Structure 1
Amino acid sequence: MNAFLSPSRSLVVSVVSHGHGPLVQNLLNDLARLSAVTIVRVVLTQNLPEAEPEAPATGWPFVLQVVRNKVPVGFGANHNRALAGATEPFVCVLNPDVGLNGQDPFAALAQAAGQPGVGCAYPTQLDERGHLQDSERELPTPRALWRRRFLGCRETRVDWVNAACLVLPQAVWQAVRGFDEAYFMYCEDVDLCLRIRLAGWALVRVPVQVVHVGQRASHRRWRHLQWHVRSLVRLWRSPVYGQACLLLRGGVAGTGTIGRS
């Protein structure tokens, strides 16, 4: 991106619900109350049958498009379809279990995403108790996962961030072609961030906060654990991962270390 883009009324938000009706209602109410100055359109994809959210008495201050899937599809495919053909300067991938904590993060996120060289802007994530979430991660090598999972070691660098709340310039989203739909669930955010980094753009953490509950279903459900393992194997076999091992770990890809605003 070579020129600054204004964040005013410039953002389209994609939210995917898997029967998260009450969470979606709360999120949309927050977006309407706090973020209408930035958000021009919200695409809500209902991956499972559920009721449509109720609009406030004054109506939604943004365009709300509700997509009802006849057959459920994966995380990346849902967001790709929702954001296909977007004309807004910025796109946002947003989880239904994100809360805004009484403040609007999107004006600052869009402003940061519009700076030259930025491929993606993201907030600090807190859990429901106000504790810092580990949303920033190292390249998930087998060794790094072992150190994290079994030795309890903290991350020492940030190569990717989870996709609970990401804001990208539309041109970047189009250039990297969104999520790789070969990942049905898990690791699609790793792959996306690595491709952004390898293309020479920075990931920038913005000093705003959101609350993210974080289900971590792969720690409790066998089916989700299977999906997680399959996605990791796919990632480790991918050219993107191979290039990231060579370049990102050496700190010479894109902007080198990940930027901070």
Structure 2
Amino acid sequence: MSIVISVVSHNHFDLIKKLKSLQQLSKTFKVYLIDNVKEDGFKEWCDTHDIYYIANDKKLGFGENNNIIFQTAFNNSPSEDDWFLVLNPDVIVDPESIYNLVEKMKLDKTHLSTVNLYKNAECNEYDNAVRNFPTLTDFVKSYLTGNNPSILDKSKIIRATAVDWASGSFLMFNAKLYDEINGFDSNYFMYCEDIDICLRAKVLCKHSVVYYPDIKAVHLAAHSNRKLFSKSFFWHVRSMIRYLTLKNNYKL
């Protein structure tokens, strides 16, 4: 069995050093990191902590970067017992939790999962990381009112449960599934690529995301401010249109 952890860094070097999570994980698992902006000293630090380092000559999107790591780690030939964790650099999780997750997935014959992410170390503030597939109305309401109707109330989910999609900050794939759906769609540069890959896993391979509420991790996210008509707003709209078009083609 091989568990590969994929991390994309975009000016996250200082945060990664501060959190000390990846160097702990690299003692147990194969951790691959793509440096999207070539920060000084990052390669040397990764070498010291046995983290596989890849540097981009130009900035690539989240999905494409994870696809590069997958291809590098598995050489396009994963086995049935290989696992691929897409992990944000601002997530803190311990090795035991990752092992527990994989064992539960094996027992349940789960091929795609996520865990219970919290916004703080005290684990008393949920990260809204599991949701229903959004509609156009959901996107509009989220921007105009700050209220997103697609968010699931995690306090009401007490056992492993299939959900529509989960944030790309923590997604555990059976590597065969990731390979079968050709990984992330690199046409998304940012936003909605996690919705899209969960949608394709469900529609094309009949594997829904399973949320395991009893396995915890901390996501210290600095949530971006997507103001109307900002650059990030237009990126989001572009990705939203692509996702909704695909969803409509599947007639969900």
- TM-score when normalising by structure 2: 0.80
Decide whether the 8 Å contact of 1:24 with 1:53 is kept in 2: no
Identity across aligned pairs (percent)?
28
Decide whether the 8 Å contact of 2:83 with 2:175 is kept in 1: yes
Question: C-alpha offsets along residues 176-210 of structure 1, whole Å, 9 cap, x if unaligned?
Answer: 11100000111100000011111211311122111
2 CA distance for matches of 1:153 and 1:52? 37
Give the helix-richer structure, 1 or 2: 2
Is residue 95 from structure 1 mapped to residue 101 from structure 2 by the alignment? no
Question: C-alpha offsets along residues 136-181 of structure 1, whole Å, 9 cap, x if unaligned?
Answer: 1111111233455528365475411110011111111101111000
Candidates 37, 42, 65, aligned match of 1:52 = 42
SS in structure 1 of the partner of residue 179 of structure 2: helix
CA change 1:116–1:176 in 2 (3 A) is: farther
2 CA distance for matches of 1:161 and 1:244? 19
Name the counterpart of 1:33.
Answer: 24
Report the CA distance between 1:36 and its aligned residue.
Answer: 3.8
Name the counterpart of 2:58.
Answer: 71
Is residue 167 from structure 1 mapped to residue 172 from structure 2 by the alignment? yes
Decide whether the 8 Å contact of 1:94 with 1:164 is kept in 2: yes
SS in structure 2 of the partner of residue 231 of structure 1: helix
Is residue 83 from structure 1 mapped to residue 83 from structure 2 by the alignment? no
2 CA distance for matches of 1:122 and 1:224? 26
Decide whether the 8 Å contact of 1:112 with 1:121 is kept in 2: no
Name the counterpart of 1:120.
Answer: 112
Name the counterpart of 1:258.
Answer: none
- Given residue 49 of structure 1, which amino acid in structure 2 is its aligned partner? K
CA RMSD of aligned residues (A): 2.7
Name the counterpart of 1:253.
Answer: none
Decide whether the 8 Å contact of 1:138 with 1:156 is kept in 2: yes
SS in structure 1 of the partner of residue 189 of structure 2: coil
SS in structure 2 of the partner of residue 226 of structure 1: helix
Name the counterpart of 1:227.
Answer: 235
Report the CA distance between 1:106 and its aligned residue.
Answer: 0.8
CA change 1:36–1:202 in 2 (3 A) is: farther
Superposed, 1:99-114 pairs within 5 Å as: 99-100=92-93, 104-114=96-106
Report the CA distance between 1:124 and its aligned residue.
Answer: 0.8
2 CA distance for matches of 1:113 and 1:243? 30
- TM-score when normalising by structure 1: 0.77
Decide whether the 8 Å contact of 1:15 with 1:79 is kept in 2: yes
When structure 1 is superposed on structure 2, of 44-53 and 13-22 the one drifting more is 44-53
Decide whether the 8 Å contact of 1:15 with 1:45 is kept in 2: yes
Is residue 132 from structure 1 mapped to residue 126 from structure 2 by the alignment? yes
State how many pairs are aligned. Answer: 229
SS in structure 2 of the partner of residue 73 of structure 1: coil
2 CA distance for matches of 1:82 and 1:46? 11
Q: Which runs of 5+ in 1 are unaligned?
A: 1-5, 247-261
2 CA distance for matches of 1:200 and 1:34? 31
Q: Which runs of 5+ in 2 are unaligned?
A: 153-162
2 CA distance for matches of 1:151 and 1:55? 39
2 CA distance for matches of 1:151 and 1:225? 14
Decide whether the 8 Å contact of 2:38 with 2:55 is kept in 1: yes
Decide whether the 8 Å contact of 1:113 with 1:168 is kept in 2: no
Decide whether the 8 Å contact of 1:117 with 1:202 is kept in 2: no
